[in-house]
Amino acid sequence: MQFTINGQHYEAEPDIRCSLLDLLREHLGLTGSKKGCDHGQCGACTVLVNGRRINACLTLAVMHQDDEVVTIEGLGSPEALHPLQAAFVRHDGFQCGYCTPGQICSAVGMLDEAAKGWPSHVTERLGEGIALTDAEISERMSGNLCRCSAYPNIVDAIREVAEGEAQGKQAAAA
């Protein structure tokens, strides 16, 4: 089977039952994505497939041979952190760090969803622009659990990046 992960081409022959998460971790050595519950409840395995955040534990590797998969390893590097990675460090958005790759991949997908105007459960008026309030960020990130409960700092980190992106857009428009 052939896969495209973080822009790189990989070949592997996993068992037909292999999840995308196990492919990444056990076959390709990409251990940034974490296995928490392995049932789609914790979000530690969140990756981006064709730009959309999904739970890598609840999908079969064999179903992703034609997809573009991005994991935490593809977002930034220790020398050049992704803006969300830098914001998580700045705001202390983690303690043990186990959920962090999933939190950050999820936040990347979430910011894109909000930019497209997708509403959430707490959006008051459907079909209008999305203001990423703390309530919006919390609702949209509810698929990522943090047992250390670093939630306030995670929200701070995401809010800072969201505001930065919004200001960047305004500056570009001006």
- The token pair at 160 is 């800072």
Question: CB–CB of 146/34 below 8 Å?
Answer: no
Per CB under 8 A, the list member of 33, 46, 100, 153 interacting with other proteins is 46
Tokens 């992960």, located at residue: 5
Q: Name residues contacting other proteins, limited to 132-161 (CB under 8 A).
A: 138-144
Smaller CB separation from other proteins, 159 or 171: 159
| CA pair distance 56, 47, nearest whole angstrom | 6
Work out how close the CB of 37 gets to other proteins at its nearest, in angstroms, rounded to a whole number: 10
Of the residues 113, 115, 159, 165, which one makes contact with other proteins according to CB under 8 A = 113
The β-bridge relationship of strands 8-11 and 2-5 is: antiparallel
- Cβ 62 to other proteins, closest distance in Å? 6
User: Going by DSSP bridges, is the β-strand pair 68-70/46-49 parallel, antiparallel, or unpaired?
Assistant: antiparallel
SS3 label, residue 94:
coil
Binding site for other proteins (CB under 8 A): 15-17, 19, 38-40, 43, 46, 52-55, 58-60, 62-63, 66, 106, 109-110, 113, 116-121, 123, 126-127, 138-144
